[in-house]
A and B are shown apart, each in its own frame.
Chain A
C-alpha cells in the first residue's frame, strides 16, 4: 500500500488559491472552514514564498494522540481520518496539530465548537465509500474512485503534489537538481519526522 503524503513545492506556487477553491467546491465545505489554505511567507519582500497547507496526514499523528474520544484512524494508505459521530468538539486536536488543520464550524467559547472538520485527503470518512452519508459529513471520496486529491490535481503549476510519499519526494528531488534550487519540503520534518534530502 502506498504511504500518501502532500508536498508543496513553494518555488512553483504562485498563490493562485486554485487548490483552496477546488477543495471548497469538491467537498462543499461550509463558510468559515478552511481545509486548505495558502500562506505567503515574507509577503512583498524579495524571495517571498507561498505554501499551500492542509492536513499533512502525519506519521504518529499528534491529533490522534490527544483526542479524548479516540475518533481518529489511519487508513491503509496512511491517510488520517476521523469520525464526526464520535467527535465531541473539544478542540484538543487543533492545539496538537502543527499545521492548524482541524477546523470547527463555530467559535470556541463555552466548548461550543461543533464537530471538527479537516482535510480528508479526498478519502471521505468511516461511512461506506461514496455514499450520501459519507458525502454529507466528509465530502467526496476520490481515493475510492482511484483518483488523487483534487487540490493537487488542479494545481496549475504542479507545485502541490499528492501521492505516494516516495514518488512525490523523487519528483521534487529531480526538480531541485534540475533547476538548482529548492526551498524545502515544507512541513515534512514536523509531519513525517524526515525531510527530502537532495
Chain B
C-alpha cells in the first residue's frame, strides 16, 4: 500500500465521518416530521364549526358560492322544513277547518235576528272593494300555490301523477312569484282605506267581553265601521301580510337575503307566518260568506241590509245616517227600494 493510497483512504474516512456528523441529525429530523402535525383534519374543523358556519377554502372557479366544502347546518334547515314548518302548517289548516265545522254545528249560520229589511245601505265603495278583492284574490292564489309546495307531493302527486303535478307546480311557482306583487299592492290599498277605522278603542273591550255576540242569538255589542273581531283580522292581515311580503321579496332575491343562513331564516318565517295567516283568513272567509247571513253583500255589491248593519255595526249606521246617508268617503247611499 503506497503512502498516497493510505492518505487518500484516511481522507475518505475523514470525509465520511464529517458527512455523517452533518447528515445524521438531518435524517433523524426528517423522521420526526409528521405531515399531519400541522395539517387540517376534517374532524377538528367540523368540531370547530358553530351555528351556520361551514368548512371553507379557496376555489379556482369564479363562483363564491362554491368555496364551502361542508355545511352541516343546511341539514338542520331541511329538518326544520320537514318538521316544525310542516307540522305548524298541518295544524293550522286542519285545526281551523275543525274549529269552523264545530262552530257551524253548534251555532249554525248566523242569521239577521230582526229578519231582512227592505232598506240597504252602502258599506264599501268600489275602491274599497277593489282593494279587498285584489288582496283577497291574490292571497288565495298565493295560499294554494304555497300549500302545494308543502303538501303537493304527498297529496296531488299520488292522486294525479307526475305529469299533472309537475305542470301544476311549475305554473304554481310562476303564479306564486308574480302574484306576490298584486298582493302587496292590495295590502297597501286596504291599509290606506281602512287603517283609520281599525284603531283599537274602549268599545272593543265591550265587544270582546260579549264574545262579539257570535255565540248567542240577539246579542249585538255596539260597533263602529269595524268591530274588535274585524280589527283583529285587519291587523293580522296587515302584520302577517307585511312579514310575508318582506320575507317573500328576500326569497325572490337571494342576493339581498344575507347569505344562505339569512335565506333559510326568511324561508322558515315565510312558511310559518303563511300557515297561521291562512288559518285566520279561512275563518274570515267563512264568516264573510256562508257563516253569516247578509255579510257577503258588503264586499259583493257594496250595499248591506239595514237590519244587518244595525245589528253588527250600530254606531256606524248612526254615523252614516246622521251625516246625511253618506258612508265615510263613499258615494251616496242608495235610498230604500
Interface of A toward B, CB cutoff 8 Å:
10-11, 17, 20, 32, 34, 37-43, 45-51, 53, 62-63, 65-71, 83, 85-86, 88-92, 95-100, 108-111, 180-190, 195
Contact = CB atoms under 8 A, between A and B. Distances in A.
A47 B38 contact: yes
14 contacts: A10-B42, A39-B59, A39-B67, A40-B59, A41-B69, A53-B69, A66-B81, A68-B149, A68-B153, A68-B169, A70-B157, A95-B260, A98-B74, A187-B69
Interface stretch (B192-200, B225-233, B248-256): B248-256
B39 A85 contact: no
B179 interface: no
Contacts of B153: 67-70
Given A11-B36, A39-B66, A69-B157, 10 more contacts: A37-B61, A39-B67, A47-B37, A47-B39, A51-B57, A65-B81, A69-B153, A95-B78, A98-B70, A111-B173
Given A41-B55, A95-B263, A183-B41, A34 B254 contact: no
Nearest to A182: B36
A108 B257 CA distance: 12
B152 A68 contact: yes
B61 A86 contact: no
B252 A97 contact: no
Interface of B: 34-43, 45-46, 55-61, 63, 65-75, 77-79, 81-82, 148-150, 152-153, 157, 162, 165-166, 169-170, 173-174, 177, 252-255, 260, 263-264, 267
Nearest to A56: B70
Contacts of B170: 88
Given A95-B77, A184-B42, A190 B72 contact: yes
A7 to B, nearest CB: 11
Contacts of B70: 98-99, 186-187, 190
B60 A184 contact: no
A133 B270 CA distance: 38
A165 to B, nearest CB: 16
A88 B169 CA distance: 7
A183 B36 contact: yes
- Sorted from nearest, which 4 A-B pairs have the closest CB atoms? A184-B42, A47-B38, A62-B78, A47-B39
B166 A98 contact: no
Given A69-B169, A100-B65, A109-B254, A49 B39 contact: yes
Nearest to B55: A41
Nearest to A109: B253
B166 A85 contact: yes
Given A40-B57, A68-B153, A51 B78 contact: no
Contacts of A42: 40, 57
A111 B177 contact: yes
Nearest to A42: B40
A181 B264 CA distance: 38
Contact of A100 (B37, B68, B169): B68
A89 B169 CA distance: 11
A20 B81 CA distance: 32
Nearest to B151: A68
A91 B175 CA distance: 17
